Amino acid sequence: MDTKSITTSIQSHKDDKDLDIDLGTLLASDYNTLDTKTLKSQPNSYLKSLTRDNVQLLINKIWDLPVERVDEVITATLPKPEYVLPRSRVIPKPKPLTKWQLFAKQKGIQTKKKGKSKLKWDEELKEWIPTYGYKRAKAQEQKEWLIEAKDDADSTVDPFTKAKQAKQEKQSKNELQRLRNIAKSKNIKLPRVGLPTKDHFPNSQHLSEALTIARTSTASVGKFQPKLSKEKDAKGIAKEVPGMKRKRKAPPLNVVEERHQNKNLVDGILEKKTKILHENYSTGITEIKQSSAPTNNKKKKNSLKHSKGARKPKAGKGKRDLHKKVGGRKRR
């Protein structure tokens, strides 16, 4: 390629002073007025040439910055942006490092991912198998079709089932560790595995309630569960544990205490029953007010007489008025 064509291709018909360039955001703003005559006569070619000149001036400014080579690629260090461009979403935060990545970073351990093949030669199967995926699981099943039984092994236990359970436990352990890493990166405190600490039970009452709930959580509500030495049921826990027997209250010792219990019982009922009106609440004496609505005795006597000697009305044979209420047999 000719050098003249290269030099002329990076030139622009405009000066960079005509533009407002922000290299931090790679933004070039052209505030000059447009040529209306050229825009009307040749709109496409005029806009293309104008855009090409502005982009070329921006690229020329980028090449004036300090340049360095990173992984066989030439890069330029951009300055701090002058304009704040609006964003529809928040800038994504860097992904926190896992526990192993932090350990590898502190110890200087480097993992070689480039050039690593996804296939691995298996000497037992005499073929190339993948390092992960469902095909590797199938190849593992072909290799483990026979399991050697040890001398002290239990003959009633299936070794294949035992190996499957061990694999599931290992997967669960890895998943638990992954969740712990996420909680640690977000500064979330997790309960410790093992014996409880003061954070779980700050006083003896909480510990007693936890012991009672744990003991009564069986199918028999703790009937066949032995108690610890000097262990007592927590107070007020019977309401929260379904099926647990509540202790009966001791009978009153004298007439005054019995009167006091009855008064508390009546007062509790009166607080719930709003239909019963009471005047002297302080002494516990209640009075039910009867309705003082006047009643007409004559109307009651007439209605009784009419009800005794009344007969069933006959059917209207299709001539009854629907707007008038007439007694009769209801059709079903």
Instruction: Give percent above pLDDT 70 in the chain.
Output: 69
* Residue 331 scores a pLDDT above 50: yes
Final residue of a structural domain among 54, 76, 98? 76
Q: Is residue 143 part of a domain?
A: no
Cβ–Cβ under 8 Å, residues 90 and 76: no
Q: What is the DSSP string of 201-258?
A: -SSHHHHHHHHHHHHTTSTTTTSSSPPPTT--PPTT-TTTSTTPPPPPPPPPSSHHHH
Looking at the domain assignment, is residue 120 inside a domain?
A: no
Q: How many domains in the chain?
A: 2
Q: Is 185 within a domain? A: no
Q: Where are the alpha helices (DSSP H) in the chain?
A: 3-9, 36-41, 43-63, 99-107, 134-143, 159-185, 204-215, 255-272, 297-308
Three-state secondary structure call for residue 121: strand
- Structural domain harbouring 232: 209-242
| Cβ proximity of 118 and 131 under 8 Å | yes
Q: Which of 45, 76, 107 is the last residue of a domain?
A: 76
3-state secondary structure of 171: helix
Residue 97 makes CB contacts below 8 A (sequence gap 6+) with 105, 185
- pLDDT for the residue numbered 297: 56
Tens digits of residue pLDDT in 196-244? 666 666 777 777 887 787 778 788 877 888 887 877 777 777 766 766 7
What is the per-residue pLDDT across 67-89, written as a single tens digit (0 to 9) for each?
888 888 888 888 988 888 788 88
Residue 76 phi/psi, 5° resolution?
A: -115, 140
Residue 165 inside a domain? The answer is no
Question: 285 falls in which pLDDT band (50, 70, 90)?
Answer: very low
Query: Does residue 238 fall inside a structural domain?
Result: yes
What pLDDT was estimated at residue 66? 87
Residue 108 within any structural domain of the chain: no
Q: Answer whether residue 28 is part of any domain.
A: yes
Task: Say if residue 151's pLDDT is above 60.
Answer: yes
pLDDT (average), residues 144-153: 78
Residue that is written with structure tokens 């669960």 in the block: 172
Q: Which of 46, 76, 106 is the last residue of a domain?
A: 76
What element of type H or E holds 75?
strand 73-76
Regarding pTM above 0.85, the answer is: no
Residue 26 lies in a domain: yes
